[in-house]
Amino acid sequence: MALSQSRLMLQPRPPSRGLKRLRPTEETRNAGVAGINTIDTTTRPIEFYRSLPKVELHRHLEGSLRFETVLDVVRSYQLDVPDTSLLRSLVQVQENEPLTFQNFLSKFATLRLIYRSPEIIARVTLEAIADAAADNVRYLELRFTPVALSKLRGFPLSQVMDWVMDAARQGEKEHGVTTRLIASVNRHEGVALAGQVAYLAAERKDRGIVGLDLAGNEPGFPAGPFASAFQVAQESGLQVTAHAGEWDGGENVAEAIQKLGAMRIGHGIRVLEAPAALQLARQCGTPFEVCITSNYQSGAVKQLKNHPLARMLAEGLNVTINTDDPSISQIALSDEYRVFCETLSFPLEILRERVLAAARAAFLPETEREALAQALEREYDSLLAATT
Ligand SMILES: [Zn+2]
């Protein structure tokens, strides 16, 4: 499928054809998923998906910048960008671009030119939370990369983390979205920086930071050398997640669980290729933070409709649905819920189940996690009752 076609999904669709139509699958694509052997071909307007309460476990602050804000910064600092459309292509995936992880990662490199003051860092944090609230996200785990935000101006990592934490606290209060932060480190930026960020995050554990994440160039940089940084995090009581099995082999999922103590896995879609890792993740009940459109745009998946999410569920894996980088991908979580239901043909009941699974995988104390899941369950029950 061409990128232009995939982006059509973001356009409003015709109104729903009414009652949900379930039919037994001859194709068997979704067969075996939690005992549900039906596919659902109902289409619904995007407003329906916007109205659903949501849980986001995997969203990068640096992938969530509004384009207007990028433009504002470019203009006010008189940065040398020839025209608006070129700027857009530097920070968002466009048609006819190579669907590779190198191209996807290049957007983050350009965006690093934007983090020029504490005010800008606070602004993008607040706007990311406002945008999640507008999409009816009830619980947001926003991950941010202190090294990315500090690099251009040489801001101390500790200050950058405090600016994001302060803004997140303000955003949570202003927009009513329960917001927690995950500090993220890039594989390709080395173990020493990761160690510093882990230590600083551990110091800030009770002030909004709940976890540590490993991201970046997966094929070139194995997770093993980062074990000590992640041990610092774990010993402080932080939770741990890691991108693995996204752009490199599924055995990296096992590496992240065993060497980093990862409690959740970012993406992990290639775990299906690695039987031992698959078995381990299933046994551990490891939640997978899957980001469907991102996987397509970064070349990890060749066609949206063949995304391995259905097979992951059929294998008994604990899958959740997330955006990754809504601004770079030009999506909201509503779009991903729609792709799940309409491109992958899952019924709303399975969507409900996955949203509740995300709530139960949140990096929150158990009582808060359960309260979130139960509140969402009640809402979904009445929403589903109204649509059937
Ligand atoms: Zn990610």
**90-108 residue pLDDT tens:** 999 998 899 999 999 999 9
| 8, pLDDT greater than 80 | no
The CATH number covering residue 74 comes to 3.20.20.140
| 13, pLDDT greater than 60 | no
**41-73 residue pLDDT tens:** 889 999 999 999 999 999 999 999 999 999 999
Residue 3: pLDDT band (50, 70, 90) is very low
Residue 377 a catalytic site member: no
The mean pLDDT of 190-217, rounded to a whole number, is 96
Distance from the alpha carbon of residue 27 to the mean position of ligand 1, in angstroms: 31
The tokens for 2 are 């061409």
| 25, pLDDT greater than 70 | no
- Decide: pTM greater than 0.95: no
* Count of domains forming the chain: 1
Assigned domain for 15 exists: no
**299-356 residue pLDDT tens:** 999 999 999 999 999 999 999 999 999 999 999 999 999 999 999 999 999 999 999 9
| 24, pLDDT greater than 70 | no
Mean pLDDT across the chain, nearest whole number? Answer: 90
Distance from the alpha carbon of residue 92 to the mean position of ligand 1, in angstroms: 15
Q: Choosing from 62, 127, 246, 255, which is the catalytic residue?
A: 246
Assigned domain for 16 exists: no
Distance from the alpha carbon of residue 5 to the mean position of ligand 1, in angstroms: 23
Assigned domain for 9 exists: no
Q: Report in angstroms the alpha-carbon separations of 23 from 39, 51, 82, 233, 383.
A: 6, 26, 53, 48, 21
Distance from the alpha carbon of residue 243 to the mean position of ligand 1, in angstroms: 7
Assigned domain for 60 exists: yes
Distance from the alpha carbon of residue 96 to the mean position of ligand 1, in angstroms: 22
Number of alpha carbons in the 13 Å side-chain half-sphere of residue 308: 21
Distance from the alpha carbon of residue 386 to the mean position of ligand 1, in angstroms: 34
Assigned domain for 42 exists: yes
**212-263 residue pLDDT tens:** 999 998 888 999 999 999 999 999 999 999 999 998 999 999 999 999 999 9
Find the domain containing 234 and state its range.
Answer: 25-387
Distance from the alpha carbon of residue 70 to the mean position of ligand 1, in angstroms: 20
Pairwise CA distance, residues 215 & 108, whole Å: 12
Residue 40: pLDDT band (50, 70, 90) is confident
Distance from the alpha carbon of residue 384 to the mean position of ligand 1, in angstroms: 30
**266-285 residue pLDDT tens:** 999 999 999 999 999 999 99
The mean pLDDT of 102-121, rounded to a whole number, is 95
pLDDT score, position 95: 85
Assigned domain for 17 exists: no
Assigned domain for 148 exists: yes
Assigned domain for 144 exists: yes
pLDDT score, position 2: 31
